[in-house]
């Protein structure tokens, strides 16, 4: 059983491990428990935007992440005809003090776990402990666990508990038993990775088309994976379709035949997209769902973090980023004074509305929505000059609006400087 002054972290995903590392740096005692009996490199690619990299840099992780991933240099937006709408620099190429990093989720999680084990010991994470409920009294919180076979394990007691247990959070269900069911956007996402030659600059992220006819996001996440200099290319397809299987499981397998028909024509001088899709190592399916923002995260000595607090659609590269910022924000507040419940409430006050804004922005103004604007104005036909369809000022303003909402506008982020 943990000490009564410990912070109990439930879940050793990206948010939970970041919180553990940040608490260790701040000198706050904690224990971290994970439901899985073994931590494996799951998932496909994701992007760490500069505001997330800023936080991880303060934890001493930037070099390790750059060694595993790719520093993103630009975003490119194309119509389904392959016509370039807009290109903009990203990360340090765009004047940020921190890079943007495209990386395999397993590599990010692995870097966090390696740092935790190096700094806290090989047994820093207590595995095989699935949270099944929480109880509180005036002085402490008790977290109850079962093992992978469902047998009861000794509980953990601490000053506060932080639920980092994802979209299926037990703590969220306990304190919000009547919350709304997941909201389906009407589109399904397919994800995969392919070993392929570098395209465009070799550090480009390309957006193509809209979900009505098939939307693609594609970018590299590992460099020089073989003697031929190929990269590991991450790609995401989003298509509009009914879906009565709203199972939020990132590891659910699918087939390229489910969506390839909408991309057969996408053979361009910069990339043969159907060939890349067909050469995938594996394909995964995920419904585009989120949940309306919660009215509160904190119930006395328990709070929520990351996907447990604010499940959002995987658009705009913000899911992992917001969990990381949640974690470092909370760690700083817990280190600021002995009143642990007050720190949880202060954390909620700083982060609840900020993340709610991102959840809603991912519904209405994600970065690639400019492609739909162009499609609507052209009636889906090729254009002669993009300037006749949309001005550069409007393109720039569209991107800047999302950056402002999501909290990573360059001038704002750079002005705030590095976290102490």
pLDDT digits (tens, 9 = 90+) for 43-81: 789 999 999 999 999 999 999 999 999 999 999 999 999
Cα–Cα dist 12/129, whole Å: 11
**Where are the strands (E) in 223-293, listed by range?**
231-240, 282-290
Tell me what the mean pLDDT of segment 303-314 comes to: 91
Which of 4-8, 226-230, 354-358, 394-398 has the weakest average pLDDT?
4-8
pLDDT level of residue 317 (50, 70, 90 thresholds): low
At the top level of CATH, the class of 7-45+106-181+294-364 is: alpha beta
pLDDT at 187 over 60: yes
- pLDDT for res 420: 40
| pLDDT more than 90, % of the chain | 71
Cα–Cα dist 82/209, whole Å: 8
**Residues 321 and 393: beta-carbon distance below 8 Å:** no
Q: For the chain, what percentages of helix, strand and coil (3-state, to nearest 5) are there?
A: 35, 25, 40
- pLDDT for res 20: 97
Tell me what the mean pLDDT of segment 277-296 comes to: 89
**Residues 78 and 207: beta-carbon distance below 8 Å:** yes
**For residue range 349-385, what is the model confidence (pLDDT) as tens digits?**
999 999 998 888 777 667 788 898 999 999 999 999 9
What count of other Cβ atoms lies within 10 Å of the Cβ of residue 281? Answer: 10
Which pTM was predicted? 0.91
Q: If DSSP codes are grouped into helix, strand and coil, which group holds residue 234?
A: strand
Tell me what the mean pLDDT of segment 314-343 comes to: 91
pLDDT at 1 over 50: no
Tell me what the mean pLDDT of segment 271-279 comes to: 97
Which of 127-136, 321-330, 340-349, 398-407 has the weakest average pLDDT?
398-407
pLDDT level of residue 311 (50, 70, 90 thresholds): confident
- pLDDT for res 2: 47
* Sequence ranges of the domains in the chain: 7-45+106-181+294-364
């Amino acid at each position: 059983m943990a000490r009564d002054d410990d912070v109990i972290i439930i879940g050793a995903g990206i948010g939970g491990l970041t919180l553990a590392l940040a608490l260790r740096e701040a000198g706050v005692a904690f224990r971290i428990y994970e439901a899985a009996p073994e931590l494996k490199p799951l998932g496909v690619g994701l992007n760490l935007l500069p505001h997330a990299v800023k936080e991880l840099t303060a934890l001493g992780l930037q070099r390790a992440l750059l060694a595993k991933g790719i520093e993103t240099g630009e975003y490119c937006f194309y119509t389904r005809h392959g016509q370039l709408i807009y290109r903009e620099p990203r990360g340090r190429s765009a004047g940020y003090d921190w890079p943007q990093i495209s990386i395999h989720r397993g590599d990010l999680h692995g870097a966090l776990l390696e740092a935790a084990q190096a700094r806290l010991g090989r047994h820093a994470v207590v595995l095989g402990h699935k949270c099944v409920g929480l109880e509180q009294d005036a002085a402490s919180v008790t977290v109850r666990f079962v093992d992978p076979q469902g047998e009861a394990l000794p509980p953990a007691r601490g000053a506060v508990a932080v639920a980092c247990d994802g979209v299926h959070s037990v703590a969220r269900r306990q304190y919000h038993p009547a919350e709304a069911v997941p909201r389906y956007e009407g589109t399904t996402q397919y994800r995969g990775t392919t070993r392929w030659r570098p395209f465009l600059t070799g550090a480009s992220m390309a957006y193509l088309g809209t979900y009505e006819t098939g939307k693609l996001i594609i970018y590299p996440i590992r460099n020089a994976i073989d003697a031929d200099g190929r990269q590991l290319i991450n790609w995401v397809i989003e298509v509009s379709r009914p879906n009565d299987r709203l199972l939020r499981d990132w590891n659910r397998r699918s087939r390229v035949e489910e969506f390839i028909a909408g991309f057969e024509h996408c053979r361009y001088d910069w990339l043969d997209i159907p060939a890349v899709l067909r050469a995938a190592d594996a394909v995964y399916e995920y419904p585009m769902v989120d949940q309306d923002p919660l009215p509160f995260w904190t119930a006395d000595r328990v709070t929520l973090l990351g996907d447990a607090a604010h499940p959002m659609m995987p658009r705009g590269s913000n899911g992992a980023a917001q969990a990381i910022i949640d974690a470092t924000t909370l760690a700083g507040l817990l280190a600021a004074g002995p009143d642990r419940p007050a720190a949880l409430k202060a954390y909620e006050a700083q982060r609840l509305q900020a993340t709610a804004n991102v959840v809603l922005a991912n519904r209405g103004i994600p970065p690639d929505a400019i492609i739909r604007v162009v499609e609507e104005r052209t009636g889906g036909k090729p254009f002669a000059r993009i300037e006749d369809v949309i001005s550069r000022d409007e393109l720039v303003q569209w991107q800047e609006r999302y950056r402002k909402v999501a909290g990573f506008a360059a001038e704002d982020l750079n002005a705030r400087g590095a976290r102490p």
